[in-house]
Amino acid sequence: MTDSKTLAYINMYAVLGTLENLCELDEEARGLLKNKKMISIGLDVAGGPAATLYFKNGYCRMEDGCSPDCTIKMGFSSCEKFNGMIDGTVTPIPSKGLLHLGFLLKSFMPLTDLLAKYMRPEPEALEDEHFFEISTKLMFYTITVAIAQIANHDAIGRFSASHIVDGDIYMGIKGACAATVRAKNHHLVTIKKDCGNRRSMMEFCDIHLARDLFDGKVNAVACIGEGTISMGGMISMIDNVNRILDRVALYLA
């Protein structure tokens, strides 16, 4: 009960988009980009998403749309092909910027490998508190961005979004990280910070609880009773975001 177009949007903005946060949080990631001049990778998926990743001296940011000025361009004939690149079954060939193949091989691919290490960690790796923290924060950003993609593209997600009134939904892990899911006319956008003007909120009490939720070890309804998740404001917004969250697990499984 998933569709490849929605998955492509998730892969673009929620998975590759998390490279931004990886570079903020992980020293090794920053090291891969250290002293690099600005280089950009344009990703253009026919019938799906398009975005540009900019890398410069240890940092990464993603912008919507495939910039005509991108250094390297990778086009995909379908959402399935793009999803294949993400799961490693399709090898992309750049249509522009072949001279920068070295960046793709020596920087971009190690970065995505590093992201995969955090996103699909070995159980023993999580025993290291620092690794655990980065991994959980990256999952948080991936999930919160995926919420918006599912709300905008998945048929059932759109049904949930159709019941979300306008305003900002704060989602956060207490003392760790925050995001704002902004709803307008039932279209959702995730901003990876607390924008401060909440119409509703859902906060996990700590990073360990958040991890258990992401891993499906605990349930949000039970956590509300236990007081480890707090919520407030326009609860119908939270209610419908939770329904979308169910589908995030389906897509990211």
The Cα–Cα gap between 165 and 172 comes to 20
Task: Pick the closer one to another protein by CB: 189 or 224.
Answer: 224
Tell me which of 167, 194, 195, 212 binds another protein, using CB under 8 A.
Answer: 167
Task: Pick the closer one to another protein by CB: 82 or 170.
Answer: 170
Beta bridge partners of 202: 171, 231
**Interface with another protein, residue 221, by CB under 8 A:** yes
DSSP class per residue in 170-219: EEEETTTEEEEEEEETTEEEEESS--S-EEEEEEESSHHHHHHHHTTSS-
Task: Pick the closer one to another protein by CB: 33 or 150.
Answer: 150
Tell me which of 160, 173, 178, 183 binds another protein, using CB under 8 A.
Answer: 160
Tell me which of 50, 90, 104, 156 binds another protein, using CB under 8 A.
Answer: 156
**Interface with another protein, residue 3, by CB under 8 A:** no
Q: How far is the CB of 190 from another protein (least distance, A)?
A: 19
**Interface with another protein, residue 250, by CB under 8 A:** no
Whether the Cβ atoms of residue 227 and residue 149 lie closer than 8 Å to each other: no
Show the site string, 191-220: x = touches another protein by CB under 8 A, - = not: -------xxx------------------xx
Whether the Cβ atoms of residue 215 and residue 139 lie closer than 8 Å to each other: no
Tell me which of 42, 97, 157, 172 binds another protein, using CB under 8 A.
Answer: 157
Task: Pick the closer one to another protein by CB: 33 or 244.
Answer: 244
Q: What b-and-e string marks burial along 3-24, b requiring 16 or more CB atoms within 10 Å of the CB?
A: ebbbbbbbbbbbbbbbbbbbbb
The Cα–Cα gap between 105 and 102 comes to 5
Three-class SS state of 26 = coil
Whether the Cβ atoms of residue 253 and residue 148 lie closer than 8 Å to each other: no
**Interface with another protein, residue 249, by CB under 8 A:** no
Number of neighbouring beta carbons within 10 Å of residue 51: 20
How do 198-204 and 167-173 pair as beta strands? parallel
Tell me which of 9, 240, 251, 252 binds another protein, using CB under 8 A.
Answer: 240
Task: Pick the closer one to another protein by CB: 95 or 236.
Answer: 236
Tell me which of 54, 131, 132, 159 binds another protein, using CB under 8 A.
Answer: 159
Task: Pick the closer one to another protein by CB: 92 or 233.
Answer: 233
The site for another protein (CB under 8 A) is made up of: 156-157, 159-160, 167, 198-200, 219-222, 224-227, 230-236, 240, 243-244, 246-247
